[in-house]
Amino acid sequence: MESIVEQMHIFFEPRSVAVVGASRRIMKAGHVIFKNFVDNKRRGIFRGELYPINPHEKTILGYTCHSSITEIDEKIELVVIVVPAKVVPQVMKESAAKGVKAAVIISAGFSEVGNHDLEEQVKTIAKNAGIRVLGPNCLGVYDSQTGVDMLFLPETKILTTGDEVVGTPRPMSGHIAIVTQSGAFGVAALDYLTGKQLGISKFVSFGNKCDVDEPEMFSYLLQDERTRVILFYAESIDAGREFMEVAKEVTQRKPIVALKSGKTEAGARAAVSHTGAIAGSDKIYDSVFMQVGILRARDMEEFFDMGKALAFQPPAAGKNVAVITDAGGPGIMAVDECVARGLNVQKLSDETIQKFEELKREGKIPPFSTNLNPVDLTGSATSEMFEYGTKILLEDSEIHGIIVLGMHHLPALQEDFVDRVANLAKNHTKPVVACDIGETEMALHIRSRFDKLRVPAYFSPEDAARAMVALVNYGLYLKKCGRFEQYLTTFFQNL
């Protein structure tokens, strides 16, 4: 028998794909999905064979159309089903006869609307034929490198350097995998990551999870070299014991960040109607996530902030954090959030304080700057001052992580402070996160430069502090498991 990893691999890199329900009508999901594959095929990204299935069409986008999958002479590994729910069982029977290995059922109209018998029928056909099924009622799969793209995102107008063009934006290739039960949330996540210029490795939407579920997908992503962080949106987890066993194995090698909705009674009720699954007690999920090392995000913003931090920076070896800033107020805000979340922002060691005092005597930092923690370089701070100060903090063995708060609008600070800080960070194993407050073009530019240099940058001091909390908590978990040093070695080898 094929291993779970081999079975899941077909969803992301099939040698042949049939789209049942492919259409010439441009606003139909079947057209959009088939066109995604065709476009990627013409670009040389998707390398498998393509077959449109529609009994009412002769050709679609230059490809000969077949009335049934059984008419195709060649082998079909993956079938993407985009037809009305009532037709899906027949399509599955034909897929079974054809020897298809995997199916993605985009179609809705199953258990999420109370149509449990129909979903069970599909499940039985698939199980008897050995077909692995993703869905139904899902968005499917997107792989940033293999050209597999089942996202039903109609073409939209995009402004590019002032010119209006038509296209469907996708995130660039990167190291964050998105695993989601909600297709709509998944689309929003992809849009967000595209806008933030954060790359992803893979995207998968489960929908109703009649077959493939989280443990199997996590097992696959554990072996995926391009995936370093897994962002997991959940409304329910059904295979509880198996989930815990697999998640515990994965988190010792790759971080998983979870955003679990349905926390309230009303939210849980909505989750049931959304996917037809039971949401379960939120306190149980808190306990499970803690036991297996999954980091839980409180909201969507924190979800992505944590993912970025874990993708860019190594975990922290302990709870002691230092803050260096050119603005006293934001520095205090970062300290307050760190302490509220369980981190230590202690007075710096006598040795480190003396190093800062020496900088004052040499005229390298303002004589009125404070050096207790946070280190406040004041509004007179220059790029060189941030470099001197950050270097001292990185060399302090009692400090495990550093938050750099640089306000671009202060007159003495030049934007090369980004490069100076990032160059220091890349030569140390301690995590560094940054913050520049503002939404002007310059603020966005500064944060973007930090991100491109693998120092995660955030809009607010609190966001930066919460990102550091994720790095600390994951580091403490790895230490508890005895995996910290191994993880660090792998992390820096893969940079």
Q: Which residues contact 145 (CB under 8 A, 6 or more apart)?
A: 45, 173, 201, 226
Task: Look at residue 51 and tell me whether its pLDDT is greater than 90.
Answer: yes
Distance CA 5, CA 168 (A): 30
**Sign of the Cα pseudo-torsion (149, 302, 8, 116, in order):** negative
pLDDT band with cut points at 50, 70 and 90 for residue 443? very high
Q: What is the pLDDT of residue 407?
A: 87
Mean pLDDT of 143-163: 72
The share of the chain scoring above pLDDT 70, in percent, equals 93
Residue with tokens 């978990």: 477
Q: What is the pLDDT of residue 83?
A: 98
Residue with tokens 């037709």: 87
Residues 338/466, Cβ–Cβ less than 8 Å? no
List, for residues 346-370, the tens digit of each pLDDT value.
Answer: 999 999 999 999 999 999 999 999 8
Task: Look at residue 337 and tell me whether its pLDDT is greater than 70.
Answer: yes
List, for residues 408-421, the tens digit of each pLDDT value.
Answer: 878 778 889 999 99
Write down the pTM of the prediction: 0.92
Task: Look at residue 156 and tell me whether its pLDDT is greater than 60.
Answer: no
List, for residues 462-494, the tens digit of each pLDDT value.
Answer: 999 999 999 999 999 999 999 999 999 999 998
pLDDT band with cut points at 50, 70 and 90 for residue 371? confident
The share of the chain scoring above pLDDT 90, in percent, equals 83
Residue with tokens 């790359």: 199
pLDDT band with cut points at 50, 70 and 90 for residue 182? confident
Mean pLDDT score across all residues of the chain: 92
Task: Look at residue 176 and tell me whether its pLDDT is greater than 70.
Answer: yes
What are 18's two structure tokens?
């049939």
Distance CA 421, CA 212 (A): 44
Contacts of residues 244-247 at CB distance under 8 Å and 24 or more positions apart, as own/partner, are 244/288, 244/291, 244/292, 245/215, 246/214, 246/215, 246/218, 246/219, 247/214, 247/215, 247/218, 247/292, 247/293, 247/294
Task: Look at residue 313 and tell me whether its pLDDT is greater than 80.
Answer: yes
Distance CA 275, CA 136 (A): 10
370-371 and 432-435 beta bridge pairing = unpaired
DSSP code, position 62: T
Mean pLDDT of 94-107: 98
List, for residues 266-307, the tens digit of each pLDDT value.
Answer: 544 444 444 444 445 788 899 999 999 999 999 999 999 999
For the chain, domains (ranges, CATH) are 4-308 (3.40.50.261), 314-493 (3.40.50.261)
Q: What is the pLDDT of residue 168?
A: 58
Other C-beta atoms closer than 10 Å to the C-beta of 73 total 4
Q: What is the pLDDT of residue 1?
A: 52
Q: What is the pLDDT of residue 274?
A: 42
Sort 131 into a burial class: Cβ within 10 Å, 0-12 / 13-18 / 19+. Answer: buried
Residue bearing the bigger pLDDT, 263 or 120: 120
Q: What is the pLDDT of residue 369?
A: 93
CA angle 193–195–199, rounded 5-degree value: 40
